[in-house]
Structure 1
Amino acid sequence: MIEIVPIDTPTLGDRSYFVTDGEVAFVVDPQRDIDRVLALAEERHAVILDVFETHIHNDYVTGGLALAQATGAAYHVNAADPVTFEHDAVSDGDIVDVGAWMRVRVLATPGHTFTHLAYVLEAPGRAPAVFTGGSLLYGSTGRPDLLGPAHTHDLVTAQYGSAHRLIRELPDDAEVFPTHGFGSFCSATQSGAEASTIEQEKRTNPVLTLDEQEYVETLLAGLDAWPAYYAHMGPANSAGPEAPDLSEPRRADAAELRRRIEAGEWVVDLRTRTAFAAGHMAGTLNFGLDGGFATYLGWLVPWGTPLTLLGQTPEDVAAAQRELVRIGIDRPAASATGGPERWVGEEPLASFPRASFGELAAVRHHRPVVVLDVRRSHEWDASHIDGALHIPLQDLSQRMDEVPGGEVWVHCQAGYRAAIAASFLAAAGRRVVAVDDEYDAGVRAGLPVVASAA
């Protein structure tokens, strides 16, 4: 019996897949922390024979080469990809036999990248399964603009053709297993689906229900910014990343933490936004582990800036390290655990208030405050508070001088990004209130909301 085990990485919105017949296995698009894959193989007493890469990833550092080296598996990469490491080059139409029962067929599916591949699993007694990477996703497709505007039109057209090739060549009951689409910015749109088939996608996926021109126009109109760290993922993956070092970082005392902050380094507090607002070391930045930690830190940090991680426990620091190696930030400069009272030494704790949209509505009746919206552009265009200033979170550190003087009430859609922004503003000496509330509550609170002219 064939077992397909998804390996979720929810913080990046991706899935890898471990596929076994009970004796041997193959893996599709493994993340950098390959110990999760090795643990699955050990639990199931299966030998990993093959590792398949659907494309040179833009949103994470692959663990494919490291996994192949650790297990002796063949590492299958598109023959057209300009990689510099040893691999088994595959092309459209190739067949790879995995053990006695599993057969993997290679299909060229350009669109997310020019050299994108899908892999079709064929085995006796079951419907085919197709591992679509960033091609056909649940209710969507992979975005076609990550290689730059000069290539976007060609890629979105290719993406349409690839999706239609899949439905021509695969039966309706073929199962679909994408890598992206679970929150990854590599997906054009997001879906809440957890499973699908070719038949389901034919009925619901815009790439298969719209004509080509309408699909292209609709998809391109909905694209928004992607994380800045994506620029570093392709080169890292083409070079062949090694297995990560997840050993504990060196410990820093209060004096060292202060020196690092004053030197312009990032000292990152991993606690929840509630805990951070209540008391923190002045100058630290809050990227809580309870949200999109790696995505937003990787998006905002100037690449190569030394990072020091502050967690309540060593396990918190270890969890942050694991997330960071997935996007190519390999070794923290230092770490500290315990709590802010330990981190500050003789310094007083810093803090700032949190509030609801109802409290924002009330305070605006009594005195002027700056309302700062740090959501992305498409969120702002859909609806925003009248009179608010819009600076997307990823731009805030470079546009701090655009925030008017006075008390700043900063909000996003649900509170996580607002807390990050509040920590930046507080570190810059601004008087800040973090709105920790759902955006829709602003309407119910009577705040005047308008839509952009766009």
Structure 2
Amino acid sequence: MESLTLEEYSRMRESGIPTLDCRPTLPYSEKHVLGSIGISINGSFEYMVNCFFPNKGKLLLISQKERLSESLLRLENEDFKSISYFNIDLWFEADLACSQISRVDASEASKYLEKMIDVSNSEDWDVLHVKGVPNVPLVKLIELPEEIESGSVLYCGNGHKSMAAASFLLSKNIITTDITGGL
């Protein structure tokens, strides 16, 4: 699949078509298009894509080139039919505004206990969680983002849902921090 041009991508983005960035969490956290939702292909990809984009409408896709075919196939298997690929290098080369998400190492998590929120599914939280840390499952967070305060520190079991949650909240101007790799 050919990439959209920078102009095509910008026009489609401005028309309200959402951007799904499925690069791994580290490169996404360091540099991404503001407003994109970061759902790593390495995580619970299908589950999270359906949480964030339940209407199966048009999507702008950012993916690592070597995983583009896999990304497209997995989205098509979830009934996404109108997907346009954008090579994010075009954005970077044009030196356009980028955003980032702050991350802290799991070894430092105890410093943030009062600000932590577990975004795991309720079922996962029932099995394993940090004592005293509230659970706001990803699905609820998407429905009620205003329940999360800026400055919160998000985590889940492996760091994929928390990065997706942090990217979504950032698109709503709620600035949070992600715990790298989860707890």
Q: Per the shorter chain, which TM-score range?
A: 0.7 to 0.9
3-state DSSP class of the match of 1:424? helix
Would you say the 8 A contact 1:261–1:283 is kept in 2? Answer: no
- 1:327-369 per-position Cα deviation (integer Å, ceiling 9, x unaligned): 221231x211253xx22534222111222233221245xxx63
Runs in 1 of length 4+ with deviation above 4 angstroms?
none
Q: Please, what TM-score do these two structures have when normalized by structure 2?
A: 0.86
Given candidates 246, 265, 282, the residue that maps to 2:17 is 265
Aligned Cα RMSD in Å? Answer: 2.2
Matches within 5 A, 1:221-240: none
Which of 375, 389, 392 is the equivalent residue of 2:134? 389
Query: For 1:96-115, what aligned pairs fall within 5 Å after superposition?
Result: none
| 3-state secondary structure, aligned to 2:86 | strand
Which residue is equivalent to 2:32?
280
Measure the CA separation in 2 of the matches of 1:288 and 1:295.
11
Q: Are positions 1:361 and 2:110 aligned together? A: yes
Conserved? CA contact 1:257–1:267, under 8 Å: no
Equivalent residue in structure 2 for 1:298, among 44, 50, 54: 50
Say whether the 8 Å CA contact 1:267–1:308 is kept in structure 2: yes
What SS does the corresponding residue of 2:70 show, helix, strand or coil? Answer: helix
Q: CA-to-partner distance for each residue in 1:50-109, whole Å, 9 max, x for gaps?
A: xxxxxxxxxxxxxxxxxxxxxxxxxxxxxxxxxxxxxxxxxxxxxxxxxxxxxxxxxxxx
Please tell me the residue identity of whatever aligns with 1:290.
N
1:326 aligns with 2:70: no
* SS of match in other structure, 2:100: coil
Q: Indicate if the aligned counterparts of 2:33 and 2:98 stay in contact, CA closer than 8 A.
A: yes
* 1:336 paired residue among 71, 77, 86: 86
Structure whose alpha-carbon radius of gyration is higher: 1
Do residues 402 (structure 1) and 147 (structure 2) align?
A: yes
Secondary structure at the counterpart of residue 158 of structure 2: coil
Letter in 2 for 1:398: E
Deviation at 1:438, TM superposition (A): 4.2
Q: Provide structure 2 residue ranges, at least 5 long, that are not aligned to the other structure.
A: none
Three-state SS of the structure 1 residue aligned to 2:42 is: coil
Supply the distance in 1 between the matched residues of 2:112 and 2:134 (Cα, whole angstroms).
17
- Contact kept? 2:21, 2:63, Cα under 8 Å: yes
Q: Per-residue deviation at 1:316?
A: 2.5
User: Which amino acid in the other structure matches residue 82 of structure 2?
Assistant: R
* 1:373–1:412 Cα contact (<8 Å) kept: yes
SS at match of 1:347: coil
Q: Take 1:430 and 1:337, find their aligned partners in 2: how far apart are those partners?
A: 27
**Does the 8 Å contact 2:159/2:181 carry over to 1?**
yes
The structure that is helix-richer by fraction is 2
Cα gap change, 1:437 to 1:330, in 2 (>3 Å): same
TM-score by length of 1: 0.37
| Alpha carbons 2:154, 2:162 under 8 Å: kept | yes
Q: What percent identity do the matched residue pairs reach?
A: 20
Residue 120 of structure 2, aligned match among 372, 375, 379: 375
Per-residue deviation, 1:263: 3.5
* Separation in 1, partners of 2:124, 2:45: 20
Query: Once the 2 structures are TM-superposed, how far is the Cα of residue 287 of structure 1 from its aligned partner?
Result: 1.5
